[in-house]
Amino acid sequence: MLTENTPVHAFIDALPKVELHVHLVGSASVPTVLELANRHPDGSVPTTEAELDAFYTFRNFTDFANVYLAVSDLVRTPEDVATLVLGAARDLSAQNVRYFELTVTPFSHQRVGMPMPAITEALNDAARRAQSEHGVRLAYIFDIPAENGAEGALGTVEHAVRYAPDALVGFGIGGGEEFRPPNRDAFRDAFARARAAGLRSLPHGGEMTGPETIWECLDHYGAERIGHGINCLADPRLVEVLRERQIPLEVCPTSNVRTGQVPDLASHPLPRLLEEGLFVTLNSDDPPMFDTTLTGEYRVAADVFGLGPAELAGLARNGVTASCLDAVDQKAILDEIDAVTASHTS
């Protein structure tokens, strides 16, 4: 993570932000993961910080997915779920984040024996406490774990439709993109049910596969935003569609490097996405696992890609307008961004 203190870093620190792409399990701080690992020593997650650091060294996305699932298997009680939500709220609040949308994979928790109503109760309680204890508002996105196929799709949408948390706003799909084609109908049906229930379609796509996954999200999931989407650049027609429709992309540069999707930050396509006129938002994905923060991603944009305060403020504004907040709440944060930007650029 970049830590050198510069004037643009001070601007980034002061900038009000929203986070649209962060996962519940992936947001767990190192102390929280160690607490869970020691609480459930029959798991495969190391119980010391040094060993956990090594455990968090990923060679590719498959390696990362295996580590992520191992940590997820430590989340076995509603109390564990609430602990993770509140940890994310604490960490993001400290970065001037006003609102975040937290992706939860409830099917993973169902599989270890947590009933749907108990998971929902924990999520509801944690959302209330995030506001009262940390001053940050959150919403939830439920996502299908693609590797669990039709069973995961059905279990996720059943939970979303029958036992929705109060703050549930969206429905997505994550995990290995290579698992989607054999279960395409199940995933399409799940998205249709979720959208009929009023949830926004917010799937991952184009991270570890090509443009075809993004097309699937647009044409058959009714996608309103795309998680990652960086491989859209391989298809000029797709770039044109994304630009014309102004479909937001949830871009996570450090994540893409750590999981081997791009070789290094300097090679990341973020500058080209901006040059193409695409609607880019900046996000952290699984911050402790990737040794980053949302603030750190803004610092990458400044230090590696050369973005100045006006461009960084533009990314922050994009995050707000791409969010599921209503117009009144969006305006309140946008006004804050404008005020901070004016004070730092006058």
275 is catalytic: no
Residue 70 clears pLDDT 80, i.e. is over it: yes
Segment 90-114 mean pLDDT:
95
209 class by beta-carbon count within 10 Å (0-12 exposed, 13-18 middle, 19+ buried): middle
Helix, strand, coil: what percent of the chain each, to 5?
60, 15, 30
Residue 1 clears pLDDT 60, i.e. is over it: no
Q: Please indicate, yes or no, if residue 2 is contained in any of the structural domains.
A: no
Band the pLDDT of 309: cuts 50, 70, 90: very high
CA dihedral in degrees (268, 269, 272, 278; nearest 10)? -130
How many CA atoms are closer than 13 Å to the CA of 147, on its beta-carbon side?
Answer: 9
For residue 110, which of 68, 147, 159, 65 has the smallest C-alpha distance?
159
Cα dist. 8→257, 295, 296 in Å? 23, 12, 12
- The boundaries of the domain holding residue 284 are 7-345
Q: Please indicate, yes or no, if residue 302 is contained in any of the structural domains.
A: yes
Q: Please indicate, yes or no, if residue 261 is contained in any of the structural domains.
A: yes
Six-digit token string for 146: 């693609």
pLDDT of residue 2: 44
Average pLDDT, the chain: 94
Segment 92-109 mean pLDDT:
97
**How much of the chain, in percent, has pLDDT values that exceed 90?**
78
Q: Please indicate, yes or no, if residue 1 is contained in any of the structural domains.
A: no
**Residue partners of 61: CB distance under 8 A and separation at least 6:** 176, 207, 208, 259, 260, 261
Least confident of 80-89, 122-131, 176-185, 189-198: 176-185
Q: Please indicate, yes or no, if residue 232 is contained in any of the structural domains.
A: yes
Residue 321 clears pLDDT 50, i.e. is over it: yes
Q: Please indicate, yes or no, if residue 85 is contained in any of the structural domains.
A: yes
- The helix/strand count (H/E) of the chain reads as 16, 9
Which residues are registered as beta bridge partners of 187? none
Q: Please indicate, yes or no, if residue 25 is contained in any of the structural domains.
A: yes
- Distance, in Å, from the CA atom of 171 to the CA atom of 73, rounded to the nearest integer, reads 22
CB 174 within 8 A of CB 146: yes
199-240 pLDDT per residue, tens: 999 999 999 999 999 999 999 999 999 999 999 999 999 999
pTM: 0.94
72-100 pLDDT per residue, tens: 888 899 999 999 999 999 999 999 999 99
Q: Look at the chain and report how many structural domains it folds into.
A: 1
pLDDT of residue 6: 84
∠ CA 156-160-165 to the nearest 5 degrees? 125
**Residue partners of 111: CB distance under 8 A and separation at least 6:** none
Segment 20-46 mean pLDDT:
89
Residue 328 clears pLDDT 50, i.e. is over it: yes
- Distance, in Å, from the CA atom of 57 to the CA atom of 244, rounded to the nearest integer, reads 39
Band the pLDDT of 346: cuts 50, 70, 90: low
Annotated catalytic residue within 19, 177, 207, 297: 207
Q: What is the CATH number of the domain that holds 44?
A: 3.20.20.140
pLDDT of residue 66: 85
Band the pLDDT of 4: cuts 50, 70, 90: low
Q: Please indicate, yes or no, if residue 204 is contained in any of the structural domains.
A: yes
Six-digit token string for 228: 């990652």
